[in-house]
Structure 1
């Protein structure tokens, strides 16, 4: 249940950013923006928030894990928005600027989202004790 709530929060965050940047500022259709939001949310939660964030360092070093995961989320957001946007709109280079702007804003939000994931979604991860002693 915690993961579903986290996915919903992330989807809302990504969708709001993409609606403002893609739809309102760059005239990408609402449906295309929603499709990009769905794809980006699913991929970045699985890869950036679960795989990378939780495994990029020791549980005690949240700042380093957060930095690595946020950088990965930035690159992933840029590539997903640009590539899917290009496929949906047929505009290759025209999607680069909105993808970059969106990725920057989303990466800023991801920093705080990772704090939420650490505290509320996987709090048991922070209580991890090494078997090596």
Structure 2
């Protein structure tokens, strides 16, 4: 049930942003906006939130979502409702959706994904420490031993 709630929140966020930028400023019909929102939300949730966010963290997941929303919106827009300036509308929409995605990912990590799920398989947890050690020069130790024998 946690995933369904998160999916609905994401769908509402993407639909609202697309309605503002494409519907109000671009004159695109609500039916086209809903269709694009459902498609982008489904794929973005599976790839960006359930795979990239779990394995690589919030920053990379937000960047991946930005690129995916931009390219996906541009491709779907070019097929469904081509008009002059579509690329600019797509970049603007993707930017504001990605800004919301940053906060959505915090919600996902804190509420939806449990601690074990959010860190499972993550390649970097940023808990790194510097390792100090000393190297032993074998030749100098052998030479010291040989000098003592003479």
Name 1:90's counterpart in structure 2: 82
Q: Distance in 1 between matches of 2:23 and 2:89?
A: 10
Q: Gaps spanning 5+ residues in structure 1: where?
A: 57-64
Q: 1:126 to 1:47 in 2, by over 3 A?
A: closer
The answer to whether residue 70 in structure 2 is matched with residue 78 in structure 1 is yes
Q: 1:121 to 1:32 in 2, by over 3 A?
A: same
How far has the Cα of 1:95 moved from its partner?
1.5
Q: 1:97 to 1:116 in 2, by over 3 A?
A: same
Query: With structure 1 as the length reference, what TM-score do the two structures score?
Result: 0.85
How far has the Cα of 1:90 moved from its partner?
3.3
Name 1:60's counterpart in structure 2: none
Q: Report the structure, 1 or 2, having the larger helix content.
A: 1
The answer to whether residue 13 in structure 2 is matched with residue 13 in structure 1 is yes
Q: Distance in 1 between matches of 2:15 and 2:112?
A: 21
Q: Distance in 1 between matches of 2:99 and 2:121?
A: 30
RMSD of aligned Cα (Å)? 1.8
Runs of 4+ in 1 over 3 A off after TM superposition: 126-130
Report which of the two structures shows the higher radius of gyration computed on alpha carbons.
2
Q: Gaps spanning 5+ residues in structure 2: where?
A: 123-150
The answer to whether residue 107 in structure 2 is matched with residue 107 in structure 1 is no
Q: Distance in 2 between matches of 1:114 and 1:37?
A: 18
Name 2:40's counterpart in structure 1: 40
Asked whether the equivalents of residues 69 and 94 of structure 2 are also in contact (C-alpha less than 8 Å), the reply is yes
How many residues align structurally? 121
